[in-house]
Chains A and B, each alone.
Chain A
Amino acid sequence: MLLISFLIVFPLLAALAIAFAPTADLRSAFVRWSALALAIASVVLAVAYFRTGPEFFSLGDTWNGLLDQVFLLGGIAVALVLLYLCRRISVRQWYIPALILLQMGLILVAELAPGHPEVARPFYVDSFSILMALIVGVVGWLIAVYAVRYMRDYHAQHPEVRDRQPAFFAIVFLFCAAMFGIVLTNHLPGLFFFWEITTLCSFWLIGYSGTAEAMRNAYRALTMNLIGGVFFAAAIVWLTFNPELQTWELDVVIANGGAAALIPAALIAVAGLTKAAQMPFHTWLLGAMVAPTPVSALLHSSTMVKAGVFILVKFAPVYHGTEVGLLLALIGGVTFLATSLIAVNQRNAKLVLAYSTIANLGLVVMCAGVGTTATLWAAMLLILFHAVAKALLFLSVGTTEHLVHSRDIEDMDGLVYRRPVLAMTLMVGMLGMFLAPFGMLISKYTCFQAFLTVDVFPGGGILLMAILAFGSAPTLFFWTKWMGKLVAMPRRTPEPMPEVPREQAFALLALTGLTYLACVLYPFVDWAFILPYTQALADAGLVPPPSDSTHWETFILMSVMLAGMFLLPVLFWLRPPHYATVSGYLSGANVAGSASYRGAMGGEREVTARGYYLTAFLDEQRLTRQGLIAAGILMIAMLMGAAL
């Protein structure tokens, strides 16, 4: 319990210290060391509760009552702050304060109801929440370390943006505190309170630069997340007044697993979908990329969207084997397919990453909706692999952007020759996202197998599997295209680039190491974090018992491939072939290397070649529209399916 309170309270104190630090240097030191302390604390938590079943903590009556008060007053305070932030919106955006008032009204109805349920055990630790805490702590630490230097450069490059770094870092720590709260609390109104804090923090961080575009996107993110919040609050109201299942304890709702739990689970599913940026709510995450890069990394990898999929995976035993679950899985599927195709169109590196995040979260949602042991296994591994690889990619793109002054993929030409280490971290991140022998592939493999054995609805599993097969193909295309840009030999001697700052290099290399390690050690992750969790669920009769899921043969082959991926470059470096170098073939007389040639009419012609974006073949707007409509219909069907 001490550890849990440390993880939640310490970042709050750190946030205060950072906000009021007298000098910039002191503030940076606070950020570094507090983030490190959180990372260490999450590791200590993992060691202390290593491979234990779910463990619950009670605080005693006085403290429990006090906690209720804290969550109630805190919730009101958050709502008031949100209302205050709405002071500058136009009349046409009346729905934002309306949504705030609606969800505050709902939650007050529940919390002030006479005889509302009591929470005896407000906190818990199980191996899934430990895994999440580790992701938040360790990845969050590396992002914070990276951000210190990044923000300084950011303000040097953007003098027009008001320097609000103290508040920036304080909010980042507040965000982490809320994330620890979400993964460790068993108290549903408490969970909702932390949930709303993440909404508030993301709003502030997205709007950091204060430009018109940033504010518009921040309000859009706020609106979407408030819609999710309303559904969450409605679920809590339902659980307060429903005689069949009157409880505020998360584990009781999940353990019920029956029809009574399905309605709140479906409502919370909508909340999870908004936070996880699934269609029809995905646009807020695309808008969020106007924020400074560390914010994007934070939102995409360790926090925010991971809170959304966390809650969905948590409720997976309720969805398991129901039509609601299948519909939820199909929403994830539609999102996965549509955004994978749209990503092919994108030239902006951050947009490619954003679409790929949404697609991967769609995959996790598919797994959560199916909710068998195998898909839970896949979902948890996906969350882990995605967190490290995506943090690595975002931070690498952020550094690249500072060096080449562009987010355009076409401008990253020849990075392998210009900044080899940076190119290497980008490549490892991309390989980690889609290619054997890296992590994502293991999860996809398990998904295929698991979907084929779904029998909720005739053909339902085949449909999910087909979606996965067709969605994976464009993924291949847009990542390879990007990698092709990075490895391309520059046609002219490129202008020298500044060094990567040391702290940033440290964060990037550490994340690269983590991506590799997560792939090599995935059987250990399975044994240490996933198996205890699924075993506990199976013991409670909520999911079928886990089969012997360690495919040793697969693991050995994966290791051989991984070793090959590592040893081939080493071998190449030790025994490089000595071939003559020529300039590329241009079908004419080369003039300056392969940069220009003499054409048929004798004039000198510059060479240009761009990547394929298939804009005529895949229409982004049409795909988005179709995805929105399909996901919207599925979501309404899901809610109706739960009510009937």
Chain B
Amino acid sequence: MNLEYWGFALAFIVLGPVVGGLLAGIDRRLTARMQSRQGPPLLQPFYDVLKLFEKDTTVVTHLQTLYLWAFLFFMVIAGVIIFLGGNLLLSLFAMTVSGIFLCLAAESTNSPYSKIGSAREMLLMMAYEPMLIIVPLGFFLVVGSFQVADILAGEPSQVVQLLGVLIGFLFVLTIKLRKSPFDISTSHHGHQELVKGLTTDMSGRDLALVEIGHWYENVILLAWLYLFFGPLGLLWALPIAVVLFFAEVLVDNTNARLKWGTTVKASWWVAVLFGVTNLLVLPFI
């Protein structure tokens, strides 16, 4: 672990939210264009969050802020591990802890809308967790290590070997990014039964924390995507990863929402058919 990687990790902590916010901004613009709208300015997510910091914060219980701190803390740790060139599986575990604390924050308010949102979030976690675990395991079988540094130093052909895993990952990425057809834990539309899912009872600074946490998460997910193409070099890998990342916006706009049961079943089937099968045939590729 050299100085360069420490630089990356530091850059993630400082610049992570900036990049993540920009990703969110581009996302909104793209969505708007797909719907033949003008869309907000690119920096709108930052304006939104800055405004949230100005607002009064109300809480149902003070402890919900504590859980949100833990959410943010573990999300940052997960990213730091990746940008240090560290252990990908460990980073996934940290991300899981972070997700669980977000659920606990929603559960602690004990309001029905928050609770349904968090129960659905847990269901989604159950749906995507197996596939997300398979990704580092696939890298381990190809590269022989969970270390991000080793994966980046691997053969450029690894993306071909792990094509099934990549497809499976793109599938669950839709869930992770809370896009249709899997945005069942936090609907953006006020008239739906969920109101605002697990963020229903969060406001002001608390809500800003959630947003910043999600920005970090977006950067982490982009980094995961980048790992598949990493050995191709930055010039190839970054554009491919970004294009694939925004392909999710297209999926978002062309699909209606699914029920949670379908989501869990579909993601487990994808994990088996693409992920596990890929690993099984790996010795022959």
Contact = CB atoms under 8 A, between A and B. Distances in A.
Nearest to B56: A580
Contact of B60 (A459, A472, A489): A489
Nearest to B267: A473
Interface string A429-463: 00000011100010001001100100000110010
Contacts of A485: 107
B196 to A, nearest CB: 9
A636 interface: no
Given A489-B108, A491-B110, A580-B58, A476 B268 contact: no
A546 interface: no
Contacts of B81: 557
Contacts of B66: 568-569, 572
A597 to B, nearest CB: 10
A484 B195 CA distance: 20
B17 to A, nearest CB: 19
B165 interface: no
A565 interface: yes
A480 interface: yes
Contacts of A612: 119, 122-123
A452 B133 CA distance: 13
Given A561-B97, A572-B65, A586-B112, A445 B90 contact: yes
Contacts of B69: 568, 571-572
Interface string B162-205: 00000000000000000000000000000000010000110011
A333 to B, nearest CB: 13
A contact residues, range = 35 or more
B137 A469 contact: yes
A483 interface: yes
Given A445-B90, A448-B89, A481 B119 contact: yes
Contacts of A441: 93
Given A568-B73, A584-B114, A484 B280 contact: no
Given A484-B107, A487-B108, A584 B65 contact: no
A481 B122 CA distance: 8
A416 B109 CA distance: 12
A601 to B, nearest CB: 18
Contacts of B38: none
A436 B96 contact: yes
B112 A484 contact: no
A585 B77 CA distance: 32
A65 interface: no
Interface in A134-190: none
B70 A607 contact: no
B133 A579 contact: no
Contact of A476 (B65, B86, B90, B125): B125
Contacts of A452: 137, 140-141
Interface string B55-90: 011111111011101100110010001000011011
Interface residues of B, number: 69
A576 interface: yes
A480 B58 contact: no
B104 A581 contact: no
B90 A436 contact: yes
B111 A584 contact: yes
Nearest to B127: A473
B14 interface: no
Nearest to B272: A466
Nearest to B115: A609
Interface of A: 413-414, 416-417, 435-437, 441, 445, 448-449, 452, 458-459, 462, 465-466, 469-470, 472-474, 476-477, 480-481, 483-485, 487-491, 551, 553-554, 557, 560-561, 564-565, 568-569, 571-572, 576-577, 579-587, 594, 607, 609, 611-612, 617
29 contacts: A416-B108, A436-B90, A466-B130, A466-B134, A469-B137, A470-B268, A470-B271, A476-B122, A476-B126, A480-B125, A483-B104, A484-B119, A487-B108, A488-B110, A561-B94, A568-B70, A576-B62, A577-B57, A577-B205, A579-B65, A581-B58, A581-B59, A581-B62, A583-B60, A586-B112, A587-B113, A609-B111, A612-B119, A617-B261
Given A436-B90, A581-B62, 10 more contacts: A417-B61, A445-B93, A476-B126, A476-B129, A477-B126, A553-B87, A579-B65, A580-B56, A585-B113, A617-B261
Interface of B: 1, 56-63, 65-67, 69-70, 73-74, 77, 81, 86-87, 89-90, 93-94, 96-97, 100, 103-104, 107-116, 118-119, 122-123, 125-127, 129-130, 133-134, 137, 140-141, 146, 195, 200-201, 204-206, 261, 264, 268, 271-272, 276, 279-280, 283
